[in-house]
Amino acid sequence: MRRLSLAIVLAACVLALPSAASAQGYFVPNIGADFGGSAGKCPSLLNDCQEKRLSYGVTFGGLAAGIFGFEGDIGYAPSFFGDSPSFGTNAVLTAMGNVVVGIPAGPVRPFVTGGVGLIRTRLDLLTTPTTGNFSTNNFGYNFGGGVMIFLPAHLGIRGDIKYFRSASDVSILGISLANSTINFTRVSVGLVIH
């Protein structure tokens, strides 16, 4: 599974490279919040979770002639399911390769984006006397939109909203859990370096 994860991340990076010398390349470290669907959905039977919605990541890519392009999007959400004394650490990692269609309007670029990639979930369950560590790699997809504002001195800002969903149910110890697809919405803002 690690080789598959690495292959997907490398493919996303290659797809995100500018396709022509005239492409507008960018790199965007960002911070965001996950909500809806699986985000903050407590796996504890006691329902004693404290919600944590923070996520952070990086988006990088390029727009040829400012209209069409590709980008890689990597995001990490620690405590995706919430914090609880009933279970240990948990997280969701997303690595997507996306197609971007933007509308150049001077320094302002509204855009829509969508693509496919990896959604990796991790959950450490605290049981007596051992701890169960469960990780699942799922094929997933995302789509959304936003706006980039290119400022002078190769800087700018970006805001976007994306919906993420795994294509299959989460499995633990090889057993697929019914109706357990990972789905959520992420809102993020970041500094554009272009």
Structural domain of 61: 2-193
**C-alpha triplet 183, 11, 40: angle, nearest 5°:** 20
Residue 177 DSSP one-character state:
P
The model's pLDDT over 63-76, given as tens digits with 9 standing for 90+, comes to: 887 789 999 999 99
Q: Which two tokens stand for residue 15?
A: 């797809």
Whole-Å CA distances, 176 to 3, 60, 116, 170, 179:
21, 33, 21, 6, 9
Q: Per-residue pLDDT tens for 89-134?
A: 888 999 999 999 998 888 899 999 999 999 998 877 665 445 567 7
CA atoms within 13 A on the CB side of 8: 24
Predicted local confidence at residue 126, as pLDDT? 65
Say if residues 91 and 75 touch (Cβ distance below 8 Å): no
Mean pLDDT over 35-48 rounds to: 68
pLDDT in tens, 136-181: 889 999 999 999 998 988 999 999 999 999 987 766 555 555 566 8
Residue 21 has pLDDT above 50, yes or no: no
Query: Does 188 score more than 90 pLDDT?
Result: yes
Contact status, residue 72 vs residue 96, Cβ threshold 8 Å:
yes
CA atoms within 13 A on the CB side of 137: 13
Model confidence at 79: pLDDT above 70: yes
Distance (Å, whole) CA 173 – CA 136:
9
pLDDT at 179: 62
| CA distances (Å), origin 123, targets 31, 82, 83 | 22, 11, 11
Taking residues 42-57, what's their average pLDDT? Answer: 73
43 compared with 83, residue with greater pLDDT: 83
Count of the separate structural domains present in the chain: 1
What pLDDT score does 133 carry?
72
Q: H or E stretch including 10?
A: helix 2-15
**Structure token pair of residue 102:** 């933007």
The structure's pTM equals: 0.80
Give the pLDDT confidence score for residue 98 in this predicted structure.
98
Here the CATH number for the domain that contains residue 58 is: 2.40.160.20
At 80 the pLDDT is: 84
What mean pLDDT is reported for the chain?
80
Among 10-19, 25-34, 78-87, name the one with the lowest average pLDDT.
10-19
- Report helix, strand or coil for 6: helix
Please report, as a single letter, which amino acid is at residue 158: R
Interacting residues of 130 by C-beta distance below 8 A, sequence separation 6+ = none
Q: Percent of the chain at pLDDT above 90?
A: 44
